Amino acid sequence: MDVSDQADDEQVNGETEKVSPRRRGIYLAPNLITTGALFAGFYAIVAGMNGNFVAAALAIYVAMLLDTLDGRVARWTRTESRFGAEYDSLSDMVAFGVAPALVAFSWGLDTLGKVGWFCTFVYMACAALRLARFNTQSELASFTGLASPSAAAIIASAVWVSSEGMENAEPSFLAALLIGILTLLVGLLMVSSFRYFSPKGIDLKDRVPFITLVFIALVLAIMVADPPRVLLVLSLLYAASGPVTFLWRRRRRAVRQGGGA
């Protein structure tokens, strides 16, 4: 019998004393938010299958927001648990692995035949591998490779931009091929060894220059003007920052070694 499933018997002054079983259960607040992220991912899949690609993209972004929130709520309320971490990973696999792949496939990658199958499967498999690596690495190594929410944002934004004005028309072969290549490359970035900037390092309680607030206001104003394209550009810039930083550091290292030779 499992020790956690039985009441422990303790000897006190020669008498057996029953110890009440340990209280079981899960923390409601963070896991409720995680369930919301899981539902958003499921809704994105259903919306994509029904041809509502804007709604599908928005649902993926809602899942991203909730995924950020559940971890913070768990830390604020000191309700972090192993169950919550595992549940969060399963939710991430649905919302940022399966949902973007199926939304992209429903949007037009199905017209590519086996190539479309290949691109979407590689993306989904890489998302699973990225999450597994994240769960087994230390906190310092957790931002090796593009994070799955960032990868999902690229696919969602690309589908959102590409579906505007299409209505019920099918995308062109060239457009489908470009999204397919993008899906494949984003998937490979998730399992790459490129290092990415971690938003977890941002302390909202620290002081920042006044110009930072002005810059944030400008970005928000531009985003409101054209949300899908701005989100796509921002997510692509973040995805490109890993390889660019790697090449820049490699070049600096080569210059130092050449100068010291």
Domains of the chain: 28-197+205-260 (1.20.120.1760)
**Three-state SS at 56:** helix
C-alpha 243/C-alpha 49 separation (Å) is 34
More confident residue, 61 or 4: 61
More confident residue, 52 or 225: 52
Provide the pLDDT for residue 13: 47
C-alpha 79/C-alpha 98 separation (Å) is 28
C-alpha 146/C-alpha 6 separation (Å) is 44
Q: Residue 132: name the closest of 178, 85, 173, 167 by CA.
A: 85
- pLDDT tens sequence across 45-70: 999 999 999 999 999 999 999 998 88
Q: How are beta strands 15-18 and 9-12 bridged, if at all?
A: antiparallel
C-alpha 89/C-alpha 255 separation (Å) is 41
> Model confidence at 165, in pLDDT bands (50, 70, 90)?
low
Provide the pLDDT for residue 158: 95
Q: Residue 86: name the closest of 132, 40, 127 by CA.
A: 132
- Over 50: is that where the pLDDT of 210 sits? yes
- Per-chain mean pLDDT for the chain: 83
- Over 70: is that where the pLDDT of 164 sits? yes
Give the dihedral sign, CA 223/229/231/237.
Answer: negative
220 exposure class (CB count in 10 Å sphere: 0-12, 13-18, 19+): exposed
Provide the pLDDT for residue 141: 53
